[in-house]
């Protein structure tokens, strides 16, 4: 396994792979690798000859009051996990390798990003799209793998690839969960033991939706019940609870029979902002 920091060096190596007929899979990460990331790497290995994991805490996707400075960095542990998982290259650039002082070209999406996390984190997906496109250009992947936990991000990246005619297949893998149902996340380490225990109510609430659906409740009624269910946790501070069309991410009040919906939530416990979602048909 090779660890490279230079975008030019990575690009040259990846172009040589392509010229040799090798396929490349990219797994973009911000480090602090966990079982969710390892599932992405596993999917990448199934779909390409070479696997590149990028580890880059991207400053442009953090807002002024967010946790960029305190975001955990665990590079040595991440490197060991990548090595055991059979990764070929770790691309770990510095910020000044990715953004020059007079950087001025950005990629912005203006439909899928207007709701959910995009509405609460202005500029977040502008930063995400820009850095992912840069990673695509540097790493020259045939496929790129993203997780369903960040459902909005995955859909936006897929839309960007479609709209900009980027020849990269976007693979979206299922949410990976702890034994008690909590979605695996790098930010789970922010939780105190008490908050960690309470946070399981998020997935329990999402699972309850399937039972409430049997009661022939409306979308508004289901959303209200889910909101109250999660608020049973003493330390829960709800950012949003919403039900949207799974393809457009627009809120749905009167879905048609068989419509694919996404129930998405964001909840604060202490300083940890946790997101989760489930899909279901109406």
pTM of the model: 0.95
Top-ranked range on mean pLDDT: pick from 12-16, 62-66, 213-217, 249-253: 12-16
Give the pLDDT mean for 227-235: 97
Give the pLDDT mean for 38-62: 98
**Catalytic site residue from 34, 37, 124, 234:** 37
Percent of the chain with pLDDT over 70: 100
Give me the pLDDT at residue 216, please.
85
Express each pLDDT in 233-261 by its tens digit.
999 999 999 999 999 999 988 999 999 99
Nearest CA to 59 out of 51, 68, 67, 70 is that of 68
Q: What is the mean pLDDT of the chain?
A: 96
Long-range pairs for 32-35: beta carbons < 8 A, 24 or more residues apart: 32/71, 32/72, 32/73, 32/74, 32/78, 32/186, 32/189, 33/74, 33/77, 33/78, 33/81, 33/82, 34/176, 34/184, 34/185, 34/186, 35/176, 35/184
Question: CB neighbours (10 Å) of residue 145?
Answer: 28
Give the pLDDT mean for 18-35: 97
Question: In the predicted model, is pLDDT for residue 65 greater than 90?
Answer: no
Band (112; pLDDT cuts 50, 70, 90): very high
Give the pLDDT mean for 107-122: 96
Half-sphere exposure of 181 (CA within 13 A, CB side): 15
Question: In the predicted model, is pLDDT for residue 191 greater than 90?
Answer: yes
Express each pLDDT in 73-110 by its tens digit.
999 999 999 999 999 999 999 999 999 999 999 999 99
CA–CA dist 268, 272 (Å, integer): 6
Please say if 124 is a catalytic residue: no
Express each pLDDT in 121-180 by its tens digit.
999 999 999 999 999 999 999 999 999 999 999 999 999 999 999 999 999 999 999 999
Domains of the chain: 2-173 (3.40.50.620), 186-281 (3.30.1300.10)
Band (278; pLDDT cuts 50, 70, 90): very high
Band (70; pLDDT cuts 50, 70, 90): confident
CA–CA dist 115, 252 (Å, integer): 12
Give me the pLDDT at residue 180, please.
96
Strands, sheet with 260-269, edge to edge from the N-terminal-most edge strand: 236-245, 260-269, 272-281
């Amino acid at each position: 396994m090779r660890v490279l920091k230079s975008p030019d060096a990575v690009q040259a190596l990846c172009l040589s792979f392509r010229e040799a007929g090798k396929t490349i899979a990219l797994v973009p990460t911000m480090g602090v690798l966990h079982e969710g990331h390892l599932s992405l790497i596993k999917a990448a290995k199934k779909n390409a000859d070479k696997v590149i994991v990028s580890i880059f805490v991207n400053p442009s996707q953090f807002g002024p009051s967010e946790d960029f400075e305190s975001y955990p960095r665990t590079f040595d542990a991440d490197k060991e996990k990548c090595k055991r998982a059979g990764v070929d290259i770790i691309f770990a650039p510095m910020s000044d390798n990715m953004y020059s002082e007079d950087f001025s070209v950005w990629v912005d999406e203006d439909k899928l990003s207007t709701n959910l996390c995009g509405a609460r984190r202005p500029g977040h997906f502008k930063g995400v799209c820009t850095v992912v496109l840069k990673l695509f250009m540097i790493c020259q992947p045939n496929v790129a793998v993203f997780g369903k936990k960040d459902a909005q991000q995955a859909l936006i990246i897929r839309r960007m690839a479609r709209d900009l005619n980027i020849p990269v297949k976007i693979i979206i893998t299922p949410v990976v969960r702890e034994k008690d149902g909590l979605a695996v996340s790098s930010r789970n380490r922010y939780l105190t033991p008490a908050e960690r225990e309470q946070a399981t109510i998020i997935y329990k609430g999402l699972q309850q939706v399937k039972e409430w659906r049997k009661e022939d409740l409306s979308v508004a009624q289901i959303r209200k019940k889910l909101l109250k269910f999660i608020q049973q946790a003493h330390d829960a501070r709800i950012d949003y609870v919403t039900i949207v069309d799974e393809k457009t991410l627009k809120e749905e009040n009167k879905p048609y029979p068989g419509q694919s919906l996404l129930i998405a939530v964001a909840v604060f416990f202490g300083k940890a902002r946790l997101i989760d979602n489930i899909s279901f048909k109406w």
